[in-house]
Structure formats: C-alpha cells, structure tokens
Amino acid sequence: MRPFFLVALLFSVAPTVASAAEPRPNILLIVADDLGYNDVGFQGARDIPTPHLDRLAASGLRCTDGYVSYPVCSPSRAGLLTGRYQQRFGYEFNPKWDATAVTHGLPLSESTLADSLRSAGYTTGAIGKWHLGAHPQFHPNRRGFDEYFGFLGGGHRYFPGSVVEVEIGAGKKTTVNGDAEQNAPILRNTTIVPEVGELTTRLGEEATASINRYASSQKPWFLYLAFNAPHTPLQARADQLARFASITDERRRTYAAMVATVDEAVGRMLAALDASGQRERTLIFFISDNGGPMTKRNANASVNSPLRGQKGDVFEGGIRVPFLISWPARIPAGRTYSQPIIALDILPTALAAAGTTRDSKFAALDGVDLLPFLTGKTNAAPHARLYWRMDGGEAFAVREGNWKWLRTYQNAPQLYDLFTDLGETRDVASSHPEIAARLATAAMDWNRGLIAPAFGNNPFGGLINRTGLEKDLAP
Ligand code: CA
C-alpha cells in the first residue's frame, strides 16, 4: 500500500506545482473620462502624442469597434463594473450628488467585478472617479474594493481651490467653483486627505504606488483606475501646457495637455509593472467611458472624427471609444481587432482570465468572455447584436454586423452601413426596410428585459411607458 500512496500523493500535488508556475493574472482597468475617439496616438491623433498608450496598444489589441453601454459617465460605469446592461436595473441617468439619496447609485442587488475578484482571493483597489452613488452604502469599500483613493462624484477640479468654468453649450460657460461635487473631498477609503498638486498626476502616482505594493505580495490584484481627465474643467499643469504651445486654440491646448498627463501617468504605471516583472501576466484594459463632448455641456475640445456625434448621442461618436486590451502572456501583440465588443465584456473576460466565476445567485450577464475571440480560438463575432437605450427610451440603437440602426424619440428610424459609411451620413432605412424592421423588432425584444429608470429627472426619462414606446417603435 505504501508505494501506491506515494504515487497518489505525487499526482495530487502536481496541479498545485503547475498553478504555482503560472500564477493568476493581475487585472488593470484604466478608464479615461470624455476622451474623444480620435484624441490618442494609437487612434490617429496628430496633435496629441501619447507614446505610453501607443506602447500599450502595440503590446496587445487595438479594438476599433469597442463600445460602451451608455453615452454618459455614470450609467456607462454601472455597466462596466457589473457586466450587465445597466437599464436592466434602472440605471439610466447620472445620480444626484447627494449623500442622502439612497436610490441614486449602483443598486445593492448588483455584484461588481471587484466583488467577484475579491471573493477569488484578489487584492482589489479603486482609484479616481467613482460616480456610482454618493450615499455611504454605495462607497467603493462596500462594492468590492479593499482600498479606495479618489472622489465620489462625477467630476473634480484638478488643482486645490481652483476656480473653474465649464461649457454649458452655445458658447456659454458657468463657474463651478461653488459646485459641491467638483469640490468634494479627496478620500483615502473614508478619510479626507489634503489635496496636493494636479489631480491626474496624483491619481497616477497613487496607482503606481499601489502596483508596487501589490507586486511585492503573493496575491494577484485588480486595480480600477478611473481618471476624470480629460473631462472638464479644462485645467492642466504649466509644464504640460508649455509642450503644446503650438496649438493655438487655448481649449484644445489645455485638453491636449490633460490627455498627455493621462499618458504620462500610464507610462509610470507601465514602468512599475515592467520593473516588478509582472507585466507579462497583467491583463490591461484601457477605455473611455463615453465619446468626447464637443459642443454640449462639459464640452472639452475633444475630437471624435471620423465618427458622427458626441457624448450623449447614440451615434457612434457617443458610444464607440478608444479601447485597448493587452495581456502579453496570452493575447497576441500588435494587432487590430474589429468585431464589435462592449465594455460589458470586460467583467466576464477578467473573471475567465482569473479562473473564477460570478456567484450564480446574481442575475445573468450581458457581456461575454472575449478570450476565445481575442486569442484566435474562434473567428466568430462575440455578439450577434449590441443595444443601447437612453433616457428611459428617448433614443435607441442597435449594432448588428455592419448595420447600425437608431431611433430617437423625435425622429424617424435611421439605418447606416458602417462598413461603407462609418460617419453615419447616408441613411439607408428606406432602401433596406426589411433590415430596419428586423432591428426595430430586436430593439423592442431587448427593451422588454429592461425596467424604467430608477432615478433621474430628464423630461423624457420615466415618462415613456414601455407599451407606448413599443407601439411608437413598431415598424
Ligand atoms: Ca464621461
């Protein structure tokens, strides 16, 4: 019996040895705020060099058709961190900046990427903009993050005590120096810390310090770094502004300096990862939370060309964003991936990479694990269709292959062929009525799985009941 026992013991320890040789990947999720589709080097920007982000792109995949699930900040983040179309749980507007608003935030019925990774033994950290509810019950420390450094609102001034102005459309500006949300305290977990220096730089320093600290432990880690740059207010460090002196438009110059500061911070993080020896086994995502706002409130001099539209639109310029995925150990480098994907896919992809799953008691995901698609195991499209609904039904959009169907409450349905008309300039709904009808039906079918907005005060939001809407949308 004794020799047999020895053999059995050897076999039983073998998997442990193998998994120790191939540790679980770290996951780094970097989000920019209101970054234009064409405002980084890897997307073609000429006036804003982003060498570090370009290096990140070269180390993995540039996803040309990478979308977010909503064209403004907060609902987009609710989808990102849950892997679910956020309208399924009533998240369709930015929440009020109000620490007593118990319904204005990510519902406690939802599970986050951080919840799952923490349960799987990951160290979890969030840095930067939260914007998923100001009530204490929504604090990052209660949503799966061991550590938090940042501010809880939807935006923040970049310099302590600075007076800031934001565009409110039609060339008008408003001063937000007295805006409590822009001036909210910087927190380390729940403790207020002094504001020091320029905020994007500071967030990058915190992230780099976290990476260095995490890398020295034996545990895998997940870091969610949500820059508020280049969201308004337009403010940047003097040395970065000086680099862009050749840009004559002052707003574009400041915006460029802000994007360059994000790039510099990413460069420091990549250097820390390289120095730690963990770069190969770190899965990195980089996205913007929505398209660049060009003329509306919070316009920041961004450029979404060649896409039509901007933040707040279901045209491509509102929802298609710079989107990078890099994991040197598993995903081939230097390629472009052009099947439609969505930020909802980040959660299932990260969990699959970590070898874990979500607690099955939570409602089903909409995102899919992208790894079989990104590693070439299959050439199929990850999604048959992607869907958008805005403001409780003010606008809808569907992407199916090369087709983009959209409908706003005020206008007739439109259909575009994105393969031949990326800029959505030629509505072909009348020449392809059967396709327009199919996608309208698909939008209605999808809409049945959504609920009315749980909060928000848009004039359309919550006022359109689904029965009436479906009647209105019927082909
Ligand atoms: Ca945003």
Distance, CA 203 to ligand 1 centroid (Å)? Answer: 17
Q: How confident is the model at residue 179 (pLDDT cuts 50, 70, 90)?
A: confident
131 counts as catalytic: yes
Distance, CA 313 to ligand 1 centroid (Å)? Answer: 12
Confidence (pLDDT) at 409: 76
Residues with CB in 5 Å of ion ligand 1:
33-34, 73, 289-290
User: Would you say residue 227 has pLDDT above 60?
Assistant: yes
- Residue 148: both structure tokens together: 């938090």
Confidence (pLDDT) at 161: 82
Q: Which residues of 39-67 are buried (b: 16+ CB within 10 A; e: fewer)?
A: bbbbbebeebbbebbbbbbebbbbbbbbb
User: Would you say residue 238 has pLDDT above 80?
Assistant: yes
Rounded to an integer, the average pLDDT of 182-199 is 94
Confidence (pLDDT) at 457: 57
Confidence (pLDDT) at 22: 76
Distance, CA 227 to ligand 1 centroid (Å)? Answer: 10
Per-residue pLDDT reduced to its tens digit, 270-280: 999 999 999 99
Per-residue pLDDT reduced to its tens digit, 316-357: 999 999 999 999 999 999 999 999 999 999 999 999 999 999
Distance, CA 290 to ligand 1 centroid (Å)? Answer: 5
SS (H, E, C) the chain: CHHHHHHHHHHHHHHHHHHHHCCCCEEEEEEECCCCCCCCHHHCCCCCCCHHHHHHHHCCEEECCEECCCCCHHHHHHHHHHCCCHHHHCCCCCCCCCCCCCCCECCCCCCCHHHHHHHCCCEEEEEEECCCECCHHHCHHHCCCCEEEEECCCCCCCCCCCCCEEEEECCEEEECCCCCCCCCCEEECCEEECCCCCHHHHHHHHHHHHHHHHHCCCCCEEEEEECCCCCCCCCCCHHHHHHCCCCCCHHHHHHHHHHHHHHHHHHHHHHHHHHHCCCCCEEEEEEECCCCCCCCCCCCCCCCCCCCCCCCCCCHHHHECCEEEECCCCCCCCEEECCCEEHHHHHHHHHHHCCCCCCCCCCCCCCCCCHHHHCCCCCCCCCCCEEEEECCCCEEEEEECCEEEEEECCCCCEEEECCCCCCCCCCCCCCCHHHHHHHHHHHHHHHCCCCCCCCCCCCCCCCCCHHHHHHHHCC
Distance, CA 298 to ligand 1 centroid (Å)? Answer: 10
133: exposed, middle or buried (C-beta count within 10 Å: 0-12, 13-18, 19+)?
buried
Give the CA count within 13 Å in the CB-facing half-sphere of 288. 34
Confidence (pLDDT) at 381: 98
Per-residue pLDDT reduced to its tens digit, 85-125: 999 999 999 998 999 999 999 999 999 999 999 999 999 99
Domain positions in the chain: 26-374, 386-473
Rounded to an integer, the average pLDDT of 447-474 is 61
Distance, CA 5 to ligand 1 centroid (Å)? Answer: 60
Per-residue pLDDT reduced to its tens digit, 416-451: 999 999 999 999 999 999 999 999 999 999 999 999
Distance, CA 7 to ligand 1 centroid (Å)? Answer: 58
Confidence (pLDDT) at 191: 95
C-alpha–C-alpha distance, residues 462 and 459, integer Å = 8
User: Would you say residue 1 has pLDDT above 80?
Assistant: no
Per-residue pLDDT reduced to its tens digit, 32-82: 999 999 999 999 999 999 999 999 999 999 999 999 999 999 999 999 999
Q: Among the options 52, 73, 104, 383, which is catalytic?
A: 73
> Chain-wide mean pLDDT for the chain?
91
C-alpha–C-alpha distance, residues 187 and 406, integer Å = 41
467 forms beta bridges with none
C-alpha–C-alpha distance, residues 207 and 149, integer Å = 9
Distance, CA 450 to ligand 1 centroid (Å)? Answer: 23
Domains 26-374 and 386-473 are alike in CATH topology: no
- Residue 459: both structure tokens together: 């004039």
Q: Which CATH number fits domain 386-473: 1.10.10.60, 3.30.1120.10, 3.30.710.10, 3.30.505.50?
A: 3.30.1120.10
- Residue 248: both structure tokens together: 């004559």
CATH classification code of 26-374: 3.40.720.10
Q: 123 Cβ partners below 8 Å, 6+ apart? A: 146, 147, 214, 217, 219, 220, 221, 222
Q: Among the options 52, 104, 131, 383, which is catalytic?
A: 131
